[in-house]
Structure 1
């Protein structure tokens, strides 16, 4: 909230504030209550012409409305509560992309205004703002704290000088009194000296009182700054976790390390100042000791987290960083130890861990200081979990739902303190598996935990049900992150996913506030299938990541679509119009639905589906080449000639010559594979090994022309297809490719 902190410090005129936050579009209450969340989002990617970002904008708008509603329930004032509820209702009717652009522009205007103001005022803290756009507001607090400490030190020096002068004048006064019997000093001189001594004594006492008050203020301020630091460390860790589902994350710890070092330095100076007070102040000394202990213990951070799904007997790495590394007392090396803990132990870290729940190999590492990067890290390079002891499971709970963590601990001495400190930190939650087949379900546990956990939760508590709008936003973020694309799941994709997880294919109303459960996500199989929603979604995501990234990013793949919607949009389209959708019937499959003439007549149309293409198909031949060879496919929905849209992804851009092996495609129905078919496939593979210029493996098949059906001909057989109403019953390319 650094930017809002500066805006709200009355540095802008009221008229400007009203212009920035008009009540009809972007009320100032929204900016205030959601200040942290607003400044963490990437609004710069939105523009009115970027229609592909509509789904992302919609997800952000839904999240904003939901958080406003949550805030309204926490407000006790009825007027404020009603106003916030009205605002949330009003904002829910916004056009998502226009909303996102409005927030983007508002934040940009804020930055420009703050920069102009900072240049005019030319204060140190705002010079820093000019350099960094917007810095952490806590930096200003630390700067103020440092100034207060300097003032304490300055007062001490002045008190010392005054005390010396007072001692000198007292000595003079005593000398005058001692000489009274020999030579009477003038009465005026004695009186003036007495007044001067009294004034000096008063000044010393006044300054001492002020210094003590200022010391107490410094300890309070240090407490506040340290609380902000620890809160920021928690947020950093939380954002590190959110990166699992694709959220933006800055992993740079240098700023936090500098912050830790500053607070440690202040703590040391304040302890020294307390030691120089004649009468000890145990309350302040104890507070500073507790703050020191908390700071030292909070400065251990898991910089590079271990994999969150770990297979036993496999190697992995992790790095732990100590943010106060330069203050470690020289001498004995600091050795960090790692051990595996279960969820119950993670909730009771202060209790001695008597029960060993697993054996970790290579579980020690030394904290080593890197002079160049000024970082102090312990890197565990070849860790492995040899065995794991699982807790008793409840009901239908599986091993892939059980969460563990790595606990890193050591004892450390820092310069300036005689007492060693025991410090520890736990990793993000882990799921331990014993076989690769468990990976998908284990990842589902991590995704649910990451997406819906609270920042200060009890380890590793998560809700059993969440609103669909949160789930949908998570799926979209994860998909874009995993595929490494800017092309999001659009509104149609999201509606299809909702219809699928809720088993409501005919429901077209708003799913946003419907509650989806963990059971629906990855416990129950989808109706008529042998896999869960997450297994199906993850399969499509993995296929896109490995084989279809460019096609998806270029908008060539429609993606998730229900069959009813498919019929609706392809209805009345010309024969040969096709679209690419993720298969309903097979994990990790993409199928081609296209319009063709019915057997009963040229004017009657039906929609057919080619058997899903899977990883093994696309390893054999990419999507562009596969579509290029199919003459019945002419126009990518809604009306783009396939020669135009697949020119880049297909390797068949020129007419072939004698170097190309001719191909004839013979479709067969699913389930009709014969020994002859298997032999054909085996012959293809054997033939390819001896012909490195094989068109199907080298991508050098000549392009199809409508008048040239001899090469790459696609001859549809009615047995190979079914109407959309009967499900996916399609072609298996591996079983019908035969070299002529």
Structure 2
């Protein structure tokens, strides 16, 4: 099937995006076979190589001949009358548009065919996927559409450049004709004054009249050319404004939103900023060329003003409009490529990178601009946006190494500067209101610069604000500071007043944010069951509910303490869990060996249905960043009495001494990871290898001890020592739970710590490879 036959399966709206005034769809349809037969031959033409212009000109002539031949074949068919007219109009359009620049025709054809091919591939991929028929009318490639529109604008710019050259030529011809006309006027006046023969006088008068008529015709043509050219510029500027708005207000804003969400852990689309820079570079080039053409038009007009009736000079308005577009483009593309840390500790080094997306095309690097960084408060940020004032000296702190020079990298065509050694020395805080703390207060880094364009013709004052930052002075302020930043990143509304956020948001949005942060920190996100558990904890609910329609407030999120836990909030509990998982339990969490988000009562109910020795790992409700082990134990000495026990929670300090997998390995009565997975299968690859006897005695003569984890009242390594301490020396017959109930108790009492953490059982740190 030919390419065009496949293209006709596309939705009509998509084809209308590809073909238009630069290449009518009628030409593509009626000359489809001829076009596709010659594509390979045309691929040899380099559109940037002017030596190939003659080859391109021959293609143009062949195309026009084919169009005219096709139109002629319909001359006697009334039902195709409109088609014949369309084709004839297309032939005339190709002559006028591409005669002086046939290479642009090749570029236009290639762009249309490539775009057509992309849409076909996308459409066929969707059609071949499940539910593809339902989605086929949604196929669209915004990036390719933007590229196509920019190519159209480039073609229009080349066309108006040709028109401008023709206008200059016409104006020179008019000047010559004006000179001839004044000569005839002078000759006729002289002859009239000197009483020359009537025949000579009549001849001079006829030449004078002919010259004046020709002059008027040229003047009229010149005025029409000026009006047509300024109308073309008006259309171009309107289209430039539309595509620039789309790139800056949609694509660049979406990238900035992605950047903000990356602060909460979402991965950014690689290469998106480079793509936006390519679009902005094209915009800058097109705008600059059109601005230059408009200024040239103004110069021609001033050199030769002509009296006209209804002619309205739009050039000053067009110049003002396109200069505003350029200003908006430059100021909007001064962006922070790498944000500074959003939780910033005083006297700690940090980095950031700013970039001007249009610096290369506008040659801003010819006078390398300086960039200065200051930190401003929320109130100062509001004032800045309201007044749009720049280069202020007001600051809310002192930053070291806060100036840098932008440099142009030729390889990637980027104009940027990286601040590698900034450091916040001082911070001035605002007066607190109500329950506000320093961790609720937001600041922002203000980056400012000044750019010269066109050899100093235009000077732009530019600035941009970083994402909000919270300044802390101590590590224990970090959790609450991250609550402020996470809430701001997730729930900021576009166009807000800095740095306002909603007081309450729907739980599904909070759940999405928590999942994003946990997945970024640990490598694996949260399941629906995990999120339901978090919802019940956040809303302080003890019964199952539908949380999807509920609103969670900022106060519930990180201000109000959890019930019976007056020393920490929901966010502090979640942050502690996330931190200990990231630092010590990442692999176990990714292997699904940690259930984690399960309540004490639910864990008991789950384990009571399992075999003795079944255990699970859950995050503690009472210890920040704590992990406890709950297990089912069946005491045969008490008539198969079954109880669920829980080890006192381990924390990061414990895992720094001995990893969780080794602690589980130490306890032989932990047999199955819930529901029935053998312990060694789940944790075996994470056990720390025991050193051999030959390598246990280093050259210093000391014997290296080996830490062992035991729980009083249950059999385990070093149990004979433990039993002797408790007055029970028969290691073959471990004591019942009741005989050591001072050491381990069922879950309706307090958790107890493994012996290794108790000073009473230092003997549990047994020597490796020595009998215990």
Cα distance per residue 1:557-578 (max 9 Å; x no partner): 1011112322332232111111
Aligned-residue offset at 1:551: 0.7
Aligned to 1:573: 610
Aligned-residue offset at 1:359: 1.4
2:496 matches 1:457: yes
Distance 1:269 1:645, change over 3 A: same
Distance 1:296 1:129, change over 3 A: farther
Aligned to 2:332: 298
What are the within-5 Å matches in structure 2 for residues 526-545 of structure 1? 526-529=562-565, 530-545=567-582
SS in 2 for 1:211: helix
Aligned-residue offset at 1:433: 0.9
Aligned to 2:552: 516
Cα distance per residue 1:475-511 (max 9 Å; x no partner): 111001011x1x3211221111111111112x21211
Distance 1:692 1:250, change over 3 A: farther
SS in 2 for 1:138: helix
Is residue 612–residue 732 contact of structure 1 (8 Å, CA) maintained in 2? Answer: no
Distance 1:415 1:126, change over 3 A: farther
Aligned-residue offset at 1:315: 1.5
Relative CO higher for 1 or 2, CA cutoff 8 Å, sep ≥ 6? Answer: 1
Distance 1:12 1:182, change over 3 A: closer
In the superposition, the TM-score normalised over structure 2's length comes to: 0.69
Is residue 707–residue 765 contact of structure 2 (8 Å, CA) maintained in 1? Answer: no
Distance 1:384 1:724, change over 3 A: same
How far, CA to CA, are the matches of 1:332 and 1:166 in structure 2?
Answer: 42
SS in 1 for 2:471: strand
Cα distance per residue 1:265-297 (max 9 Å; x no partner): 222222222223315722222212222222221
Q: Which of 696, 699, 723 does residue 707 from structure 2 map onto? A: 696
2:381 matches 1:362: no
How far, CA to CA, are the matches of 2:121 and 2:403 in structure 1?
Answer: 41
2:600 matches 1:563: yes
Aligned-residue offset at 1:466: 0.8
Aligned to 1:316: 350
How far, CA to CA, are the matches of 1:399 and 1:7 in structure 2?
Answer: 58
Larger gyration radius, structure 1 or structure 2: 2
Aligned-residue offset at 1:194: 8.8
Distance 1:194 1:354, change over 3 A: closer
Gaps of 5+ in 1: 1-5, 14-117, 662-686
2:289 matches 1:286: no
SS in 1 for 2:557: helix
Bigger mean CA deviation after superposition, 572-581 or 245-254: 245-254
How far, CA to CA, are the matches of 1:134 and 1:425 in structure 2?
Answer: 30
Aligned-residue offset at 1:383: 1.3
Aligned to 1:25: none
How far, CA to CA, are the matches of 1:120 and 1:290 in structure 2?
Answer: 33
How far, CA to CA, are the matches of 1:446 and 1:224 in structure 2?
Answer: 34
SS in 2 for 1:512: helix
Aligned to 2:515: 476
Count of residue pairs brought into register by the alignment:
596
Aligned to 1:11: 14
Aligned to 2:232: 214
How far, CA to CA, are the matches of 2:253 and 2:675 in structure 1?
Answer: 48
2:291 matches 1:271: yes
Cα distance per residue 1:595-626 (max 9 Å; x no partner): 11258834332211111121122122222211
Aligned to 1:644: 681
SS in 2 for 1:596: strand
Aligned to 1:138: 146
Cα distance per residue 1:506-533 (max 9 Å; x no partner): x212112211111111111111221111
Bigger mean CA deviation after superposition, 488-497 or 704-713: 704-713
How far, CA to CA, are the matches of 2:15 and 2:452 in structure 1?
Answer: 48
Distance 1:11 1:711, change over 3 A: farther
Bigger mean CA deviation after superposition, 345-354 or 554-563: 345-354
Cα distance per residue 1:232-280 (max 9 Å; x no partner): 2222222111011121213643222222222222222222222233157
Pairwise CA RMSD: 3.9
Aligned to 2:113: 123
Aligned to 1:249: 268
2:525 matches 1:488: yes
Aligned-residue offset at 1:696: 3.5
Is residue 721–residue 731 contact of structure 1 (8 Å, CA) maintained in 2? Answer: no
What are the within-5 Å matches in structure 2 for residues 364-383 of structure 1? 364-383=403-422
Is residue 359–residue 365 contact of structure 2 (8 Å, CA) maintained in 1? Answer: no
Is residue 302–residue 319 contact of structure 1 (8 Å, CA) maintained in 2? Answer: yes
Is residue 315–residue 384 contact of structure 1 (8 Å, CA) maintained in 2? Answer: yes
Aligned to 1:87: none
Aligned-residue offset at 1:143: 2.0
Aligned-residue offset at 1:354: 6.2
SS in 1 for 2:458: coil
In the superposition, the TM-score normalised over structure 1's length comes to: 0.72
How far, CA to CA, are the matches of 1:142 and 1:522 in structure 2?
Answer: 48
